[in-house]
Structure 1
Amino acid sequence: MAATSKTAALMARGREFLGSEYAILCGAMSWVSERNLVSAISNAGGFGVIACGAMNPELLDREIAGTRALTDKPFGVNLITMHPQLFELIEVCAKHGVSHVVLAGGIPPKGSVEAIKESGAKVICFAPTLALGKKLLRSGADALVIEGMEAGGHIGPVSTSVLAQEILPALAEEHLVFVAGGIGRGEAMAGYLEMGAAGVQLGTRFACASESIAHPDFKKAFFRANARDAVASVQVDPRLPVIPVRALKNKGTEEFTAKQIEVARLLDAGEVDMGEAQLKIEHFWAGALRRAVIEGDVENGSIMAGQSVGMVSKEEPVADIIAALMAESEAALASRAAA
């Protein structure tokens, strides 16, 4: 830690909050952020987060237990707010004494934050705007993640750099705010820490780690890609509230457009309500992502990746990735101090 003392000092609040050596969270990537990658990140000093995604309570129960068998370090669980069994999933987290629960995918439903905190766990919420960030903190969130549109997976409309400039000066002094989206190197991490961030979250950078169970062909697609290959999905019908998803462009991207048209027709026919329509979209992504990550179908599956994908050029251990980020950050901070 002495070799990266400047970075560690800027991360002090985030490190204390997470209980980890470094305030570096791994973004929850469905099918990727499972026990092997999560435990490896926590064992290397970062903070791993299980992606619950569409798991049912029984599956999450097994995944938490499996992760606990691989690490004695803290890790979190990411839950989707629109999951129909959200409160049962919260109970599973409480049963295992999970220290941090991340709520993603929308405004937390009534009682969910309170239910998590009853078990003694900390609550982390995503804040796409300053106003919502303030509201979430008033509602009991212990920390926020602000994630820009450069990220992989579900994204908002505003870039990380703009969100950071809007939210960090207003909230970071009194609250814990982690920055995510498009971070691939330590120099960027250092910049956000200097602006007041408690830490950072990265997903794409860890997706192809040696410990990631992602299919070799999925990883090769990352190695071949550059920033412009990671594109955001388009919304076909403005009545259907579909959160854009950033992924490498392939046939699966076109299939999502067709899926939106199909779901919009079901909505028009009254065969599904808006909640069911959104779940159908989420289930599409879960299946498409599995085809790419687990089965290696990189033509028809979804290769979710952020714009930092061009900085992922090889498979390397999680510990090496974290060490590189810390070294790059420390060099940047040292050069500024010497200037």
Structure 2
Amino acid sequence: MPGGFGEADRAAARMHLDALWARGRAFLGTELAILGGAMSWVSEHRLVSAISNAGGFGVIACGAMSPELLEREIAATQAMTAKPFGVNLITMHPQLDELIGVCTRAGVGHVVLAGGVPSGAAVRTIKDGGAKVVGFAPALVMAKRLIKLGADALVIEGSEAGGHIGPVSLTVLAQEVLPNIRDVPVFVAGGLGRGDSILAMLEMGAAGAQLGTRFAASAESIAHERFKQAFVRAAARDALPSVQLDERFPVIPVRGLVNDGTRRFMVHQAETVRRFQAGELTREAAQLEIEHFWAGSLRRAVIDGDIEGGSVMAGQSVGMVTRVQPIPEILDELLEQALQSLMLRNAMTRTVAASGTH
């Protein structure tokens, strides 16, 4: 057995781990309290069903999908798994009500609301339809507000995550939120790539964890092979947030691998600011010029494999992606790392007790 531990050691460690994430497992209805982060163009039915079938909880990234496309995506997922999975909806989507209706009619058990504070009406509609609501809380005050709105669970995501990020790291968010929120399960996300790190968060009070980057580079991910190999080659320091050049023209921070596109974005911002100052562009037009730079760039990277000109969104845990692995192998690895950590600790405790040291 790995690490030289016996079956009794493993059984004790597994019992301990299952107790730690029992609330998360019960909420999700899964063997492991591990969610797949909803990644646009990546978190579709094949990846989602693979995560759920392997004991985790897959989440469809609705993004800008139409209600008709989401309906087909849910049906395709249900055709590939009988296990629980969720759907991530963007609160600013112009057809949010219709998308909620699609989820209700399809019997989706969990709806994750992201991209802003949801309305009380949206939360009530989802719950009245029989689904549980999961909200994103970037701060303690928002966590409390979401619970008052009726959220059944929360995700706190640190700035180490890939894609659109907030300003605070998970290590700080966890200390701010976990000791103060007991009403609902809280799942942690951002920079997590190992099972022992997940274990540490569980011991702080988390109900489970959400991972995206490691799943994006999995064998089941539809991402282009060049996209996956960029993850394999990258170090944590290669995944940086986009830079805002001028405070008059806000840039929503997005963490991704530095490439030619990120360098050209800086040049584009500087040129746009120059044109604004020269009177060639209005402030509104200049803002749109900056915002439109990345239009379609995520799809170009994920689907077309344009890893130099596209947006290669990745979290800092990308440094822990050493090869393309099947989803079951990734989840088994995370579980094994958590169990090994617990078994080692238990062995050290027995050693100290046997030596009579206090």
- The equivalent residue for 1:25 is 35
- Conserved 8 A contact 1:4-1:327: no
Alignment of 1:112-131 (within 5 A): 112-131=122-141
Partner of 2:4: none
CA displacement 1:122-159 (0-9 Å, x = unmatched)? 11011000011001101100110000000000111111
Partner of 2:333, secondary structure, is: helix
Is the CA contact (8 Å cut-off) linking 1:156 and 1:243 kept in structure 2?
no
DSSP 3-state at the match of 2:159: coil
Distance 1:17 1:202 in 2: 17
Q: Deviations over 1:194-245 (max 9, x none)?
A: 1110000000011111111110100110011000000001123435554310
Does residue 235 in structure 1 map to residue 247 in structure 2?
no
Q: 1:126 to 1:286 in 2, by over 3 A?
A: farther
State the shift of 1:254 in Å.
Answer: 3.5
Task: Tell me which moved more, 42-51 or 8-17.
Answer: 8-17
Match of 1:329 in 2: 338
1:194 equivalent among 203, 213, 220: 203
Give, in angstroms, the shift of residue 85 of structure 1. Answer: 1.3
Query: Unpaired runs of 5+ in structure 1?
Result: none
Task: Find the partner of 2:317 among 305, 308, 317.
Answer: 308
Shift of 1:83: 1.3
Matching residue within 85, 93, 104 for 1:94: 104
In structure 1, the residue matched to 2:94 is 84
Bigger Rg, which one: 2
Does structure 1 residue 74 correspond to structure 2 residue 84?
yes
Q: CA, structure 1 residues 45+7, in 2 after alignment: closer, same or farther (shift >3 Å)?
A: same
CA contact (8 A) 1:30 1:286 kept: no
Superposition map of 1:47-196 within 5 A = 47-171=57-181, 173-196=182-205
Asked whether the equivalents of residues 178 and 199 of structure 1 are also in contact (C-alpha less than 8 Å), the reply is yes
Asked if 1:34 corresponds to 2:44, the answer is: yes
Greater shift, 111-120 or 36-45, is seen at 111-120
Distance 1:138 1:222 in 2: 39
The residue type paired with residue 26 of structure 1 is: G
Contact conserved, 1:4 with 1:326, CA < 8 A, in 2?
Answer: no
Write the distance in 2 (CA, Å) between the matches of 1:267 and 1:49. 41
Q: Which runs of 5+ in 2 are unaligned?
A: 1-9, 350-358
| SS of alignment partner, residue 13 of structure 1 | helix
2:308 is equivalent to residue 299 of structure 1: yes
Amino acid paired to 1:21: E
Structure 1, 254-263 or 66-75: larger mean CA deviation: 254-263
The amino acid of 1:81's aligned partner reads: T
| Cα distance change, pair 218–117 in 1 and its aligned pair in 2 (3 A) | same
Q: In the alignment, residue 179 of structure 1 is paired with which amino acid?
A: V
Give, in whole Å, the separation in 2 of the partners of 1:133 and 1:229: 31
| 2:88 counterpart SS class | strand
Deviation per CA, 1:152-181: give whole Å up to 9, x if none: 00111111111001110111x332100000
Amino acid in the other structure paired with 1:147? E
Equivalent position amino acid for 1:289 in 2: L
Q: What CA distance in whole angstroms lies between the structure 1 residues aligned with 2:128 and 2:293?
A: 33
CA distance in 1, matches of 2:345, 2:281: 56
Contact in 2 for aligned 1:236/1:261 (Cα 8 Å): no
How far did residue 336 of structure 1 move?
2.5
**Counterpart selection for 1:249 from 246, 258, 268:** 258
The whole-number CA distance in structure 1 between the counterparts of 2:102 and 2:250 is 29
Alignment partner of 2:180: what SS? helix
Q: CA deviation at 1:287?
A: 1.4
The answer to which of 259-268 and 119-128 deviates more is 259-268
Deviation at 1:253, TM superposition (A): 1.7
Paired residue type of 1:213: I
SS of the aligned residue for 2:52 comes to: helix
CA–CA distance in structure 2, aligned partners of residues 284 and 51 of structure 1: 22
* TM-score (norm. length: structure 1): 0.91
State the shift of 1:117 in Å.
1.0
Deviation of 1:256 after TM superposition, in Å, equals 4.3
TM-score calculated relative to the size of structure 2: 0.87
Give the Å deviation of 1:118: 1.4
